[in-house]
Amino acid sequence: MNRWWVGGAALVAVAAVLGPLLGDPDAADFAAILAGPSPAHPLGTDQLGRDLLLRLLAGAQLTLGISVVTVLVTGAVGTAAGMAAGYREGPGARVLLRTVDVLAALPIILFGLLAAAVLGPGIGSLLAAVWLVGWTPFARQAYQLTVAEKGRAYVEGAVALGAGPARVLLRHVARNLAPPLLAHACVRFAATLLTVSGLSFLGLGVAPPTAEWGAMVAEGREYLFVAPHVVLVPSVAVVAVAVLVTVAGRRMAT
């Protein structure tokens, strides 16, 4: 059963990497504007006659690429902070947890708006927002897991054998934290994907004419009543990937 999910993820990744080789996503075909599916354009074209399949694949690279990098960076930072706080509980850990609570209580879109106000809307403000907040769920999860692991015999054994905190955490605790944290990373990936495309939809991230799934929905929305397929294509892509990753993460967790 798991092979299906791995295969699906691999397929999406290959499509995202190879997509731009198939053609220019910004090339306009003025003979076919807002056209439905045809042999020349398997998913149809948008309001400028650009091929939706090519834009979808180019968008996959950008949208999914930003999400993957974000989850890797914030996952590493958050896990490290959470593990350190969980292993050495003290005033520092309490401050960290309070910070996590406050940051996680605020809507991510507020950070997107503030980052856009400070840096100007663009990929930079988008990354600033998702990186500033994205580490907090990992920190919370890693903290709770580390506190639970700390009391177990193997940690005591390692300490008795003279292992320092860094060795205990990296060599021993980290291995036991990896499976639940990987499952958590899948959930975070889906959430990040929706945030990235949502902010781009609002014009606070990747801006048109660059092909990004959220930005594509925003562009196509004006033609929703005449040519709904322009919105349908990126909509389905966002939801499909989010479902795929969410279910895969859940399988991993059980």
Partner 1 sequence: MLRRLLPVPLVLLAASVLVFALPRLTGVDVSRAVLRARVSAEVPDAATEARVAAEFGLDASAPVQYLRWLGAALRGDLGLGFVSREPVLDQVGDALAVSGLLTVLALGLAAVVGVTAGVYAAHRPGGPFDRAVGALAVAGVAVPEFVLAPWLVLVFAVGAGALPALGWGGPQHVVLPVLTLAVYPAALAAQLVRAETADVLTRAHVPLARAKGLTARRVLWRHGARLATTSVTSLSGMFVAGLLGGSVVVEVVFGIPGLGRLLYDAVLAQDLPVIQAGTLALVAVAVLAGVLVELAGLAADPVARSREAVS
Interface residue list for partner 1 (CB under 8 A): 98, 101-102, 105-110, 113-114, 116-118, 121, 190, 194, 197-198, 201-204, 214, 217-218, 221, 224-225, 228, 231, 235, 238-239, 242-243, 246-247, 250
How far is residue 9's CA from residue 21's CA, in Å, rounded to a whole number? 20
Least distance CB 98 / partner 1 (angstroms): 6
Least distance CB 205 / partner 1 (angstroms): 12
DSSP 200: H
36 vs 165 by CB, closer to partner 1: 36
How far is residue 87's CA from residue 151's CA, in Å, rounded to a whole number? 10
How far is residue 109's CA from residue 131's CA, in Å, rounded to a whole number? 13
Q: What are phi and psi of 164, to 5 degrees?
A: -80, 170
DSSP assignment of 92-116 equals: HHHHHHHHHHHHHHS-HHHHHHHHH
- Find out whether the peptide bond into 137 is cis, omega within 30 degrees of 0: no
176 vs 235 by CB, closer to partner 1: 235
169 vs 200 by CB, closer to partner 1: 200
Nearest partner of 74 among 36, 130, 30, 125, judged by Cα: 130
Least distance CB 184 / partner 1 (angstroms): 15
Least distance CB 162 / partner 1 (angstroms): 34
Least distance CB 211 / partner 1 (angstroms): 16
Least distance CB 77 / partner 1 (angstroms): 21
How far is residue 125's CA from residue 110's CA, in Å, rounded to a whole number? 12
94 vs 152 by CB, closer to partner 1: 94
